[in-house]
Structure 1
Amino acid sequence: MKRQISSYKGRKLCLWQKLLLSAVLAGAVTFAGLFGAVLYGSYDHIQGDPRAMVVLGCQVMPDGEPSILLRDRLDRALDYLEDHPDLTVVVSGGQGDNEPVTEARCMADYLMERGVEEDRLLLEERSHNTDQNLRYSRELLEAEGCDLSQGVVVVSNGFHLTRARMLAERAGYDSVSTLAAPSSHLPSRLHMYVREPLALVKSFFLDR
């Protein structure tokens, strides 16, 4: 006698499960796209001949020394300044609750100790986020009569530069170049590459 084997039918998903799965997949695709944008911006993009540099601030340690990520930014700036000795440099960053000095003051001291002349440095000490960094730095450069028609080069860690470029263009800079510093502290680098796609969305909608 022949035995009939019924075809296997998988368990069907109910409506809420389908909606949840769709939302998870859409979120994953969106995050992947944002992550790709962050990676694309994480390299040097120099255009033209910028006459000003803005170094974006980062955490200052309790002893007044720059954090590892901030030191990475400053060392990258120093490398570039060796070949571009005429740039005006804005060091941009206010003072957080746990910081003994402003980020700008810490950065200026670090650069001067390594040979950058004090009269080339402008300290922007009011800002507390990337949007303010760039807007207040532009105000400071314009007040000093700096020629921004040839653009500005923005220095930060690679993971930060896609958002920094977007905000710089929104702040009114005509031509924005970016200089990518490494991220020597591995845990911070991993954390920031996860955080930054979400920060990019936040800045796109709220930093205006």
Structure 2
Amino acid sequence: MNIKKLINLVILFLGVLGVLNFFILTWVNPVFNFGAFIILIAGICLIITAILRINGKTHIFSIKNKIIRRVFALLAGLLALSFVLIQGLIIFYAQEDDNIEEADCMIILGAGLIGDYIPLTLQYRLDKGIEYLNKNPDLKVIVTGGQGPGETVTEAFAMEKYLINNGVDASRIIKEDKATSTFENFKFSKEILDEINGEEAHKIIVVTNNFHMFRSKMIAERVGFTVYRLPTKTNTRVLISCHVREYFAVIKSFIFDK
């Protein structure tokens, strides 16, 4: 098999993988996922590209104008470079901090519910929080998340119920049930802590999935928190989708979440 045929097969394989990923993720969690949708579109584009290449019609994508061709090449290069750099940061920050015991409060970030059902992504966060709270009985915890599309209760309500059902005393739990984004999770949580403890430099433990930790830390520090990371794992069936979605979310948060 020559190199050209091998490249065509790889492109076709990646395209099919992207489409399958979308349907698997939709089956696991029927709530719309932007990251999965992006991968679906990319998969379809790759399949079309592979079919055109196999049929010898790659000239459709050739750009004769040298300036336009170079601009497209530069943009593609910058896109690829930014993707690699951001993914590197996501992986680097998906580690637990060593001096986590210095924190004053824990914040567990909400994630999409299915009705009032807690999916694995959020369950991992809650279980990680419970594990640490059991070892530190004096620590309070904020559960943060409002009610979004496809949810019959607020994320904070479902999270509080889960913690109580798993042995966390209700008096230790503070509910923030208005937030609709990661930025609002921290903004509204800080307002609550400012009201309770005064406007000071709050030291918090952030509990979220590993892919989400870099952006969470960035936003929390912008809001005014000192952050200690307590990441948890991610469902492997949605890991690729989460990383792709997070790339776009990091760019959005870097520009707008201030």
Same fold per superposition (TM over 0.5) = yes
The one of 203, 206, 212 aligned to 1:160 = 212
Normalised by the size of structure 2, how large is the TM-score?
0.71
Rg larger in structure = 1
- 1:189 match: 239
Tell whether 2:249 aligns with 1:199: yes
Partner Cα distance (2:114, 2:198) in 1: 31
The Cα of 1:152 is off from its aligned counterpart by: 0.4
Is contact 1:93-1:127 (8 Å) kept?
Answer: yes
The count of corresponding residues between Structure 1 and Structure 2 is 194
Is contact 2:201-2:224 (8 Å) kept?
Answer: no
Is contact 1:47-1:176 (8 Å) kept?
Answer: no
Q: Which residue identity lines up with residue 127 of structure 1 in the other structure?
A: A
Tell whether 2:124 aligns with 1:72: yes
The Cα of 1:37 is off from its aligned counterpart by: 0.8
The Cα of 1:146 is off from its aligned counterpart by: 7.4
- 1:109 match: 161
- Unpaired runs of at least 5, structure 2: 1-63
| 3-state DSSP of counterpart to 1:144 | helix
Tell whether 2:104 aligns with 1:61: no
Higher relative helix content: 2
The Cα of 1:13 is off from its aligned counterpart by: 7.8
Tell whether 2:179 aligns with 1:133: no
Deviations 1:128-171 (A, max 9, x none): 00000001011112222379656100110010010000110111
Deviations 1:60-102 (A, max 9, x none): 122x221110001000111111211111100000011311110
User: Equivalent pairs: percent with the same residue?
Assistant: 31
Deviating above 6 A after TM superposition, structure 1's stretches of 4 or more consecutive aligned residues are none
Is contact 1:55-1:156 (8 Å) kept?
Answer: yes
Which structure's relative contact order is higher, taking Cα pairs within 8 Å and 6+ residues apart? 1
Normalised by the size of structure 1, how large is the TM-score?
0.88
Deviations 1:38-71 (A, max 9, x none): 1111121243510200000001122x22111000
Partner Cα distance (1:99, 1:25) in 2: 40
